[in-house]
């Protein structure tokens, strides 16, 4: 029954889920062939029964989570009411970072003006919060927005660079001028290069090919209904398109052999991308304002991450350099490698300015700093070089911790930004990571992890106030945190179990994590 318009579908879904569903959300379902449509009198109508079934299934999520993880799971901490754009608001999306938590989780525990806690308020404006596993700075940014001073520590120099750049006070008008200057110079640098004409023709031929063999949304619907095995079909059509691709390489004399070598930049970037990358990097070096220089360097880093010679589905975990067109399951068509970073750099330039401007209207005068060091032994007070911050630290101690420690055997934190380390020359401290992927999840790795996190907490306690509160976010599937608390002289006074609904990983199984509230074990 095709009886529901997009506008009507949006209202039905919003009422059913008791949250705002936009017409864009409905259009997304149409685009990906999730719901059948028919066009009548220039209006698109949806299959009402399919629509209801889809959103009823989403509505039953809470029941599924409670059935798997228990009735004590805190559904308020799912933050299901927030759209993706809200979960990545303002500077939180200045640069990709695996393993970060969403800002709403920080707000929930730090904001004393919410109704979340009826009896206990843990932090207030003017307090200091510590994040000894700072990552990309989510805790620091949200603390600043709430008027809470913050200190972050991270073993990764690039992580600290991301966090401090997000928090810098930048003249956005001057930033725009510098970006317009660099984008203009990049345009001139590449305007007569043969790979630009090559890519234009490649895109045209690829679009025609995809329209013929991968029509949207019909193709996705047939795959979903198992009428087509997209893996086999995609492989066949990729093979069919390759002669077209090779003929264009010959026509424009394009050398794609650049993605080889020992360094990360040599292996994962073709020559045209590398040429543009180094050109922009040299232009950044000429900028006198350090904060603006850092912001544009971060834009360049974000850009080159998107321009690695890999498939769209392997951006998070690289496998092999991809130098030819390929069937992309994510987009349901044949996709291609990139041959210029110009469009991405321009796009990220505009996005960054917009996000910084948004944060400027929300930020407070609270101080924030991420320092590079080993949280197991660093002397925080000696590493803070801001006189105003030193004065505040002398007046009051740190009220508590809000942090998400690394998960055992999950991520190599330096490797995820290897391109940036190669380009910018940051010093690496891989050997000091706690619980890295390369050490695995075995008994020895878990023991090292327990000892490492415990030492961080023991070291941190000397800088905390007497009645401190520690909140650690973790998926503790190995039940390590009771050991960690005991070894650090702490007790777990509460555990908030949180359903995680919006994961970026390919694994779509039900997933939860805990926020452990710890205090001194007196």
| Through-space distance between the first and last CA atoms of the chain, rounded to whole angstroms | 66
Q: What is the pLDDT of residues 226-263, one digit of tens each?
A: 999 999 999 999 999 999 999 999 999 988 776 566 78
Rounded Cα distance between 49 and 2, Å, is 9
Burial class (CB in 10 A: 0-12, 13-18, 19+), 361: exposed
Tokens matching residue 8: 């009507």
Asked if the model's pLDDT at residue 497 lies above 80, the reply is yes
pLDDT at 506 over 70: no
> Is residue 505 scored above 70 in pLDDT?
no
The mean pLDDT value for 68-74 works out to 84
The reported pLDDT for the residue numbered 442 is: 96
Answer for the pair 70, 491: CB distance below 8 angstroms, yes or no: no
User: For the ranges 40-54, 230-244, 442-456, which has the lowest average pLDDT?
Assistant: 40-54
| pLDDT at site 118 | 39
Of residues 131, 67, 134, 105, the one with CA closest to residue 513: 105
Domain boundary assignment for the chain: 2-59, 68-156+366-520, 172-356
What are the CA-CA distances from residue 396 to residues 127, 131, 139, 149 (Å)? 8, 17, 20, 11
pTM of the model: 0.88
Which pLDDT belongs to residue 155? 97
Contact 200, 290 (CB under 8 A): no
**The pLDDT value given to residue 511:** 83
**Mind listing the pLDDT tens digit for each residue in 117-153?**
434 689 999 999 999 999 999 999 999 999 999 999 9
280-298 average pLDDT score: 98
Give the C-alpha distances (Å, rounded to integers) separating 401 from 148, 372, 374, 396: 12, 17, 16, 15
- Nearest to residue 394, comparing CAs of 22, 128, 143, 31? 128
DSSP assignment of 289-331: -HHHHHHHHHHHHHHHHHTSSS-GGGSSS--S---S-EEETTT
- Out of 3.40.50.300, 3.30.450.20, 3.30.450.40, 3.40.50.150, which CATH number does the structure's domain 68-156+366-520 have? 3.40.50.150
Query: 1 falls in which pLDDT band (50, 70, 90)?
Result: low
Cα torsion through 294, 300, 305, 307, rounded to 10: 180
pLDDT of residue 259: 56
Report the pLDDT averaged over residues 212-232. 92
pLDDT for the residue numbered 121: 80
The pLDDT mean for the chain works out to 90
Nearest to 407 by CA among 65, 100, 68, 104: 100
Around Cβ 24, how many Cβ atoms within 10 Å?
10
3-36 pLDDT tens trace? 888 888 888 888 877 777 888 888 878 876 778 8
Burial (0-12, 13-18, 19+ Cβ within 10 Å), 281:
middle
- Looking at 18-27, 318-327, 447-456, which range is the least confident one? 18-27
From 424, 122, 474, select the one nearest 284 (Cα to Cα).
Answer: 424
pLDDT at 434: 96
Question: Which range among 20-34, 340-354, 357-371, 446-460 shows the weakest confidence by mean pLDDT?
Answer: 20-34
Mean pLDDT of the 289-316 span: 93
> Of the candidates 211, 210, 219, which has an alpha carbon nearest to the alpha carbon of residue 33?
219
Question: For residue 119, what pLDDT is reported?
Answer: 45
């Amino acid at each position: 029954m095709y009886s529901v318009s997009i506008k009507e579908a949006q209202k039905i879904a919003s009422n059913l889920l008791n949250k705002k569903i936009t017409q864009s959300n409905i259009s997304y379902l149409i685009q990906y062939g999730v719901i059948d449509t028919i066009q009548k009198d220039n209006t698109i109508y949806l299959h009402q029964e399919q629509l209801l079934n889809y959103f009823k299934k989403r509505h039953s999520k809470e029941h599924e989570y409670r059935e798997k993880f228990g009735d004590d799971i805190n559904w308020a901490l799912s933050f299901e009411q927030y759209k993706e754009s809200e979960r990545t608001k303002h500077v939180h999306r200045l640069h990709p970072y695996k393993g970060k938590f969403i800002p709403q989780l920080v707000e929930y525990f730090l904001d004393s003006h919410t109704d979340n806690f009826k009896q206990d308020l843990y932090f207030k404006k003017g307090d200091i919060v510590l994040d000894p596993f700072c990552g990309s700075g989510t805790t620091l940014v949200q603390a600043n927005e709430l008027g809470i001073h913050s200190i972050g520590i991270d073993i990764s120099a690039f992580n600290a660079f991301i966090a401090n750049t997000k928090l810098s006070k930048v003249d956005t008008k001057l930033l725009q001028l510098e970006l317009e200057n660099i984008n203009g110079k990049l345009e001139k640098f590449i305007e007569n290069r043969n790979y630009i004409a090559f890519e234009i023709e490649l895109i045209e031929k690829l679009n025609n090919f995809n329209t013929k063999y991968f029509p949207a949304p019909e193709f996705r619907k047939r795959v979903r209904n198992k009428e087509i095995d997209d893996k086999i079909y995609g492989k066949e059509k990729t093979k069919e398109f390759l002669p077209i691709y090779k003929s264009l390489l010959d026509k424009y004399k394009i050398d794609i052999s650049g993605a080889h070598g020992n360094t990360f930049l040599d292996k994962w970037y073709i020559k045209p991308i590398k040429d543009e990358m180094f050109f922009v990097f040299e232009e950044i070096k000429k900028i006198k304002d350090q904060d603006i220089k850092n912001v544009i360097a971060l834009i360049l880093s974000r850009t080159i991450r998107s321009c690695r010679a890999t498939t769209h589905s392997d951006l998070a975990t690289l496998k092999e350099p991809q130098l030819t067109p390929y069937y992309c399951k994510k987009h349901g068509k044949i996709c291609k490698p990139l041959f210029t970073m110009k469009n991405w750099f321009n796009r990220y330039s505009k996005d960054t300015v917009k996000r910084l401007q948004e944060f400027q209207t929300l930020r407070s005068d609270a101080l924030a700093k991420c320092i590079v060091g080993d949280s197991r032994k660093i002397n925080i007070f000696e590493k803070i070089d801001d006189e105003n911050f030193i004065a505040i630290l002398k007046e009051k101690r740190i009220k508590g911790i809000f942090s998400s420690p690394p998960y055992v055997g999950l991520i190599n934190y330096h490797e995820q930004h290897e391109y940036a380390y190669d380009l910018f020359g940051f010093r690496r401290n891989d050997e000091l990571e706690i619980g890295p992927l390369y050490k695995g999840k075995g008994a020895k790795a878990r023991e090292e992890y327990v000892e490492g996190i415990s030492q961080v907490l023991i070291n941190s306690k000397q800088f905390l106030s007497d009645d401190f509160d520690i909140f650690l976010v973790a998926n503790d599937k190995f039940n390590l945190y009771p050991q960690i608390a005991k070894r650090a002289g702490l007790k777990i006074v509460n555990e908030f179990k949180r359903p995680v609904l919006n994961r970026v990983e390919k694994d779509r199984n039900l997933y939860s994590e805990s926020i452990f509230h710890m205090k001194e074990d007196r």
